[in-house]
Structure 1
């Protein structure tokens, strides 16, 4: 399993509209093969800042399965115009800790 982590900055004054669009977009991402779960968190200190965490079975489920799909085009139309600057997406894997 990998975690996609994205810090999002939404244009000032569009936060409510963004959250409504994200709720619609959630059905898109959750329909993709390899998707496990996602959550969107609103920053307390910085207005318009959000943290998106998406769990995928594999990196390719996100980078190929989702990013190269027709559903991604719909996701982009719903959400990408809200971001300034455009976000950087990073992927993480769990670190196994030895005892």
Structure 2
């Protein structure tokens, strides 16, 4: 489980520009879950989430459509290194 930093003052088009790397031991059973939260001085509000089977993720740039808020998505770049089982997800 990893978390990106909070993007302040950009609720409509946040850009994280971070790379998250995961070591996957059993890709046939692995799930990747994306969660998006709004963070402001009042508190945290849930925006949406999507859980995807690792074996369904294809390399390249992808829109991940979130469940929870109509017409919301995040744009990610997925890179898969088959030799070591590492996955890199850049948001």
TM over 0.5: no
Answer 1 or 2: which has greater helix percent.
Answer: 1
Q: Which has the higher contact order (CA 8 A, sep 6+)?
A: 1
Answer 1 or 2: which has greater strand percent.
Answer: 2
Give the TM-score normalised by structure 1: 0.30
